[in-house]
């Protein structure tokens, strides 16, 4: 099931996306962040609800307030190669500030202190319930589903800082969407096409079968570090084709448009704008 958080007639709803229609399930404020469950929304979906055309709703970030965003670095073999880095022996995790989250169609704002802002399409894992020390064999039991993410990164700051947090945590640096696809539909998401187009040109295209550490391994590993909470996001890594890995290198400029996609989920499009230097 595709579950969207959307605006219709000025109200925010959870809705089930069915082709080019959205069946409105429940007002978003009736399913508080941190306590919502996919099963609860699915049970509501069995009841008749208003059906509206997909173009008539405004799609929002489907996971609006995670307690944390955990990212996995160098988790595609080809991306590690283009970065000139060895493949990690264990998942390389770091964090993005939750304030970096935006949804579909919202502009990514280029900060004034970086001229090397890059794109990174990623499969994002959405946690369904509190989880701590979960074995990989049961890891999918704590996954609500998946969405598309774009781990926007200021490469010059990443290199100068020697770590990732500032370079990846600017406001608007974490687009996600267009909706959440439940785990019963995609399972372990272990062989899906993933890619990104910049201004219509395909720059990233791979498959999740190329992940070094799969979904279950990632969730289990992260749950050994910290308790995972409902709505937390885990960004699973990006394949080759980032601007940093191109020759010559290429970075985002005002007026660009990024479209990230994952097979079985959908497309996430965000324009790029300059910061207001005033």
Across 133-145, b (16+ Cβ under 10 Å) vs e yields ebebeebbebbbb
- pTM score: 0.94
CA dist 193 and 164 (Å) reads: 26
Q: Using CA atoms, how far apart are residues 226 and 232, in angstroms rounded to an integer? A: 11
Architecture of domain 69-274: Alpha-Beta Complex (3.90)
pLDDT digits (tens, 9 = 90+) for 241-255: 999 999 999 999 999
Confirm if 175 and 268 have CB atoms less than 8 A apart.
yes
What pLDDT sits at residue 79? 79
Residue 126 · residue 176 · CB < 8 Å? no
Query: Are the beta carbons of 198 and 108 closer than 8 angstroms?
Result: no
CA dist 41 and 121 (Å) reads 27
Q: How far is CA 11 from CA 41, 176, 193, in A?
A: 17, 20, 34
Q: Which tens digits make up the pLDDT trace of 160-198?
A: 998 899 999 999 999 999 999 999 999 999 999 999 999
Domain ranges in the chain are 2-59, 69-274
Q: What is the mean pLDDT of the chain?
A: 93
Per residue in 105-134, pLDDT tens?
Answer: 999 999 999 999 999 999 999 999 999 999
Q: Would the pLDDT of 43 be above 90?
A: no
| Distance (Å, whole) CA 184 – CA 101 | 25
Q: How far apart are CA 77 and CA 85, in angstroms?
A: 10
């Amino acid at each position: 099931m595709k579950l969207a958080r959307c605006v219709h007639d000025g109200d925010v709803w959870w809705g089930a996306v069915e082709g080019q229609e959205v069946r409105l399930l429940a007002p978003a404020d009736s399913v508080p962040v941190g306590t919502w469950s996919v099963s609860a929304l699915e049970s509501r979906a069995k009841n008749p609800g208003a059906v509206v055309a997909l173009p008539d709703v405004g799609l929002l970030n489907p996971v609006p307030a995670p307690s944390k965003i955990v990212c996995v670095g160098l988790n595609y073999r080809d991306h590690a190669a283009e970065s000139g880095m060895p493949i990690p022996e264990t998942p390389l995790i770091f964090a993005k500030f939750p304030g970096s989250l935006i949804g579909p169609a919202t502009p990514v704002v280029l900060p004034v202190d970086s001229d090397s802002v890059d794109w990174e399409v990623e499969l994002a894992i959405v946690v369904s319930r509190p989880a701590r020390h979960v074995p990989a064999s049961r890891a999918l039991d704590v996954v609500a589903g998946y969405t598309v993410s774009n781990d926007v990164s200021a490469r010059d700051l990443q290199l100068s800082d020697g770590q990732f947090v500032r370079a990846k945590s600017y406001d608007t640096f974490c687009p996600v969407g267009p909706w959440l696809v439940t785990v019963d539909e995609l399972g372990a998401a272990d062989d899906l096409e993933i890619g990104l187009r910049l201004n219509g040109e395909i720059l990233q295209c791979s498959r999740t079968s190329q992940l070094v550490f799969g979904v279950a391994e990632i969730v289990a590993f992260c749950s050994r570090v910290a308790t995972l909470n409902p709505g937390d996001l885990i960004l699973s890594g990006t394949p080759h084709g980032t601007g940093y890995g191109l020759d010559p290198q290429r970075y985002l400029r005002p007026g660009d448009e990024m479209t990230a996609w994952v097979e079985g989920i959908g497309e996430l499009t965000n324009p790029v704008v300059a910061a207001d230097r005033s």
